[in-house]
Structure 1
């Protein structure tokens, strides 16, 4: 436990908050900015004396429950929450669920990528948002019911979804999907979303069950993917995966190398594909 750093972090967290930020009345004029110690203590459900000793680097090591209460009282972000735990010598708790809420900043980035296919997915494979080029490449996923937006489920249970990949790529693509899902399920063992998806696919797909039993583990990363597009033909695209740790979201961007046939076909897709936005099989 780093008492001095913990004390400094708590003081700075308290100083940046106003009473209105935590639902308190402004009250009398304050000599210094921020909340009072007794206000933070009350919000966290602890004695003012105990909190004061923490800020003075002389308090006992707080429990995990107390750290959680302090993080909530000080309105800490996920990164700050984890930092608080580390300063107290504790391992931060796992975040067991992935949010389907997409931050406006990520949506803005998605829209700015006007000439390359890009989509936001969660780590279980559910598509959360697409730009126009992604819809032209793999179909308008967001127009489907939510259950049909999961790329892993569609790949193993919908033969049409596989038609977007050359047949010789099916096996490595399947392995990558299963290995990633195993990593997600292990990281969030109490989350019903990955556990339920695994149970469903093990029951419904012999291929998935076979690959799952091989116990390969890997996270999504940069790769080259081939798409067999019905309008422009075969596309060799570099797949870049950027991770937003806050909500387990992935920004997946597909690009073609300038000077290649795939680059020319991707430019063609931008012209003709955007005119043909009828839903079809989807891939990720």
Structure 2
């Protein structure tokens, strides 16, 4: 591990980012350009003390999970992410399997969708990044262990995941989840990720097994979705899905047409939902 080079790389990466680049408000006047240490630590999900020690060349060797979080927080390209891993004495993830790395341009779009819930998910359903409105709508998925970030796994194996949707919509959502996973698994027959998820869900959910055997196939696409939020009630939102990174990363954006009841509730969520998140944080 090259502590001095790692510290320098982190400092330079932090200095080149403005708060608006990562979806943060500028706040009070800043003495130096770039993000503050505490802002990078917040984005990476680590303590400020730990990050500060890394920048001061006296921190312990970061784990691979921590390096991945730092790469995302600093909006690193794949080449820069690989360099970060090398400085920490770690082998970078193989590019063909590094599906958890979200490109900086996609994160920039995500951060600027400040009034619409939006998140980046893999085609298998794993959440890779959320904006503040998405966290207000469906909870802070990124704070959970990686295994619990998969929306398809959660829907079939975690009863609490279904409370986000009206009960009468559960069957249609389940069918859509299964149809999408079947399309992904067929497109990547040698990839262990979709195959492993299918095997796990067939073994753990009778509902999934029944729907899988029906052999419906459909990729995630535009739709109307209904959410049950504990603070603002029922939200009927338009869902747009944009594809990136060899069709394995999806930018999912929820919106409501102006003048509708859902639009008013979404605006209310922007106020009370974000306040509630701040209180809990």
The TM-score bracket by the shorter chain reads 0.5 to 0.7
Deviation track 1:118-150 (CA, whole Å, cap 9, x = no partner) reads 000000000000000000000000000000000
Deviation track 1:7-53 (CA, whole Å, cap 9, x = no partner) reads xxxxxxxxxxxxxxxxxxxxxxxxxxxxxxxxxxxxxxxxxxxxxxx
The Cα shift of 1:96 comes to: 7.1
Taking the aligned partners of 1:181 and 1:142, their CA distance within structure 2 comes to 21
The Cα shift of 1:277 comes to: 2.2
Determine the structure 2 residue equivalent to 1:123.
Answer: 123
Structure with larger Rg: 1
Taking the aligned partners of 2:206 and 2:165, their CA distance within structure 1 comes to 20
Determine the structure 1 residue equivalent to 2:241.
Answer: 241
Q: Does 1:201 align with 2:201?
A: yes
Is the contact made by 2:226 and 2:237 (CA closer than 8 Å) also made in structure 1? yes
Determine the structure 1 residue equivalent to 2:133.
Answer: 133
Determine the structure 2 residue equivalent to 1:89.
Answer: none
Taking the aligned partners of 1:189 and 1:270, their CA distance within structure 2 comes to 41
Q: Does 1:142 align with 2:142?
A: yes
Determine the structure 1 residue equivalent to 2:192.
Answer: 192
Q: Does 1:175 align with 2:175?
A: yes
Deviation track 1:236-263 (CA, whole Å, cap 9, x = no partner) reads 0000000014361000000011111110
Show the 5 A alignment for 1:187-266: 187-246=187-246, 248-266=248-266
Taking the aligned partners of 1:181 and 1:245, their CA distance within structure 2 comes to 18
Determine the structure 2 residue equivalent to 1:155.
Answer: 155
Is the contact made by 1:96 and 1:190 (CA closer than 8 Å) also made in structure 2? no
Determine the structure 1 residue equivalent to 2:89.
Answer: none
**Greater helix share, structure number:** 2
Is the contact made by 2:223 and 2:238 (CA closer than 8 Å) also made in structure 1? yes
Is the contact made by 1:96 and 1:189 (CA closer than 8 Å) also made in structure 2? no
Gaps spanning 5+ residues in structure 1: where?
1-94
Is the contact made by 2:123 and 2:247 (CA closer than 8 Å) also made in structure 1? no
Taking the aligned partners of 2:145 and 2:98, their CA distance within structure 1 comes to 19
Q: Does 1:101 align with 2:91?
A: no
**Cα RMSD (Å):** 1.8
- Work out which structure has the larger RCO, using CA pairs closer than 8 Å and 6 or more positions apart in sequence: 1
Deviation track 1:103-127 (CA, whole Å, cap 9, x = no partner) reads 0000000000000000000000000
Show the 5 A alignment for 1:35-74: none
Determine the structure 1 residue equivalent to 2:68.
Answer: none
**Alpha carbons of 1:177 and 1:161: their partners in 2 closer, same or farther (altered >3 Å)?**
same
Taking the aligned partners of 2:217 and 2:263, their CA distance within structure 1 comes to 32
Is the contact made by 2:114 and 2:131 (CA closer than 8 Å) also made in structure 1? yes
Q: Does 1:274 align with 2:274?
A: yes
Provide the aligned length of Structure 1 versus Structure 2: 186
State the TM-score, normalizing by the size of structure 1.
Answer: 0.63
Taking the aligned partners of 2:125 and 2:96, their CA distance within structure 1 comes to 16
Gaps spanning 5+ residues in structure 2: where?
1-94
State the TM-score, normalizing by the size of structure 2.
Answer: 0.64
Moved segments of 4+, more than 4 Å: 95-98
